[in-house]
């Protein structure tokens, strides 16, 4: 995780961002700290990566890479404003023993690449190129299933789909093409289907450890669904960080052993 020390909205690269709406960076830091401390309270280790001046979106650490075992597939960002984040995270990952690899095609790390059991789901269409899944499959040695996104408000897969455990996902169907929905239905017939009211507060931008699911507090319907499915929902106020288009998952680069 990277603290939002320099977080602000000074450009627009997704529909959640509005330079006319002020950002309270101190509030963003406080909300982020609650998220970090929640992970630690649940027994998870959290490494902090120092933020870099001039990279206001670096708080969204999930976009930096896909990490599988000792390999980190470094993001190739679509927008030039975020390109510097790749170098910052590459340096940290190499210093901590990871082998870093790059891609030819545009892809944005765990924002669009989500490990479910022994496969990777890949969101394509806005930030990740359609050719990227095949390239990433060769790099990590796992099947990668491409899912086309259609709504620009759900520009990354992690805004429209949450991985809850090795066999369970939750998703918002309207964010996907008919073909992608059919694929998800086939792969995950027991998935939790989330309503638009929860998806549009980025409720699916959540992190699960297989039991506890940390999500934006405003997604109350999703919380009820999680509870009925046997998970423990933990809603947090991440409203300031939503101004950049991210919440719990965006702020968390998960390490898959």
| Catalytic residue status for 96 | no
| Catalytic residue status for 156 | yes
Residue that is written with structure tokens 């169907």 in the block: 173
Instruction: Write out the H or E segment, with its range, that includes residue 213.
Output: strand 212-216
State whether residue 89 is helix, strand or coil: helix
In 3D space, the residue among 255, 99, 226 whose CA is nearest the CA of residue 162 turns out to be 226
Task: Enumerate the β-bridge partners of residue 211.
Answer: none
Which distant-in-sequence residues (6+ apart) come within 8 Å of 13 by Cβ?
79, 81, 82
Listing DSSP states for 160-187 in one string gives TEEE-SSS-EEE-GGGB-HHHHHHHHHH
Cβ atoms 13, 79 nearer than 8 A? yes
Distance of alpha carbon 73 from alpha carbon 87, whole angstroms: 12
Distance of alpha carbon 225 from alpha carbon 242, whole angstroms: 22
**Rg of the Cα trace of the chain?**
17
Distance of alpha carbon 219 from alpha carbon 198, whole angstroms: 5
Of 212, 215, 250, 251, the catalytic one is 250
Of 156, 212, 215, 251, the catalytic one is 156
User: Looking at the annotation, which residues are catalytic?
Assistant: 156, 250
């Amino acid at each position: 995780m990277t603290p939002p020390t320099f977080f602000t909205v000074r450009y627009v690269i997704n529909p959640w961002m509005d330079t006319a709406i002020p950002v309270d960076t101190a509030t963003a830091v406080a909300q982020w700290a609650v998220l970090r401390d929640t992970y630690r309270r649940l027994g998870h280790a959290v490494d902090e990566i120092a933020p870099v001046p001039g990279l206001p979106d670096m708080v969204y650490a999930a976009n930096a890479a896909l990490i599988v075992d000792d390999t980190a597939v470094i993001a190739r960002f679509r927008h030039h404003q975020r390109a510097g984040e790749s170098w910052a995270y590459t340096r940290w990952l190499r210093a901590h023993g990871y082998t870093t690899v790059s891609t030819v095609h545009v892809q944005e790390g765990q924002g669009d690449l989500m490990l479910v059991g022994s496969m990777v789901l890949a969101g394509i269409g806005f930030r990740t190129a359609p050719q990227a899944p095949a390239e990433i499959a060769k790099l990590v040695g796992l099947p990668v299933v491409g899912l086309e996104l259609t709504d620009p408000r759900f520009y990354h897969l992690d805004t429209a789909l949450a991985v809850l455990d090795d066999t369970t996902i939750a998703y918002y169907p309207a964010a996907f093409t008919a073909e992608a929905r059919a694929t998800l239905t086939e792969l995950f017939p027991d998935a939790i289907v989330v309503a638009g009211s929860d998806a549009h507060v980025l409720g699916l931008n959540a992190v699960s450890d297989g039991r506890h699911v940390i999500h934006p507090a405003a997604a109350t319907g999703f919380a009820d669904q999680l509870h009925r499915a046997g998970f423990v929902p933990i809603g947090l106020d991440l409203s300031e960080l939503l101004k950049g288009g991210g919440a719990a998952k965006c702020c968390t680069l998960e390490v898959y052993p």
